[in-house]
Amino acid sequence: MLNELNLELQGKDRTVVDMISSVNAFKRRLHLLCSKLQRKDLANFQNIASELEKQGKDSALLDSARYTEQVNNITSDFEKRFRDFALLEPIATFMCYPFSEDHDIDSLAQNIGAVFHLNPSALEDEMLSLQADIQLKA
């Protein structure tokens, strides 16, 4: 999984939006794996299932907390390494589709201003004008 993500992030012609999407998908996979481990569903953990089978043990006897902790550690480390992506995600979302009414222009302008060292008040005006532009919406 990590190798696949690494290749995705290094791929040619990848945009920041593509990378953020790949990282978010990976984080969701980690959460799903953790959930499956807690339920002792080993469909994604063939090596563990194989080892339990060799030992003649049922998956119900698995100490899943031990493995869940490892996945949680990976998730935590991953969150730290890609913290900047979390800051950029709302900006990227706005840039992909600025016409959504769900955008909080005030906080988004503050965020963009902080990241790119721009005046948030001027950004608010530009963002509102962009959202209201009928020709761009067409």
Query: 47 and 114 share a domain?
Result: no
Stated as kind and residue range, the H or E segment containing 40 is none
- pLDDT, one tens digit per residue, over 16-57 is 999 999 999 999 999 999 999 999 999 999 999 999 989 988
Residue 40: the pLDDT is 92
The DSSP code for 117 is: T
Q: Report, as an integer, the average pLDDT of 74-94.
A: 93
Q: How many domains, the chain?
A: 2
Final residue of a structural domain among 34, 59, 82: 82
Residue 128's pLDDT is what? 95
Q: Give residue 61's pLDDT.
A: 81
pLDDT-based confidence at 116, cuts 50/70/90? very high
Verify that 75 and 107 share a domain, yes or no.
no
Averaged pLDDT score across all residues of the chain: 92
Within a 13 Å sphere around the CA of 71, how many CA atoms are in the beta-carbon half?
21
Does residue 3 fall inside a structural domain? yes
For residue 94, count other CB atoms closer than 10 A to its CB.
22
Please tell me the predicted confidence (pLDDT) of residue 63: 87
Model confidence at 1, pLDDT cuts 50, 70, 90, reads confident
> Which of 82, 110, 127 is the last residue before a domain boundary?
82
> What is the span of the domain harbouring residue 121?
97-138
How far, in Å, CA of 106 to CA of 128, rounded? 10
Residue 59 has pLDDT above 90, yes or no: no
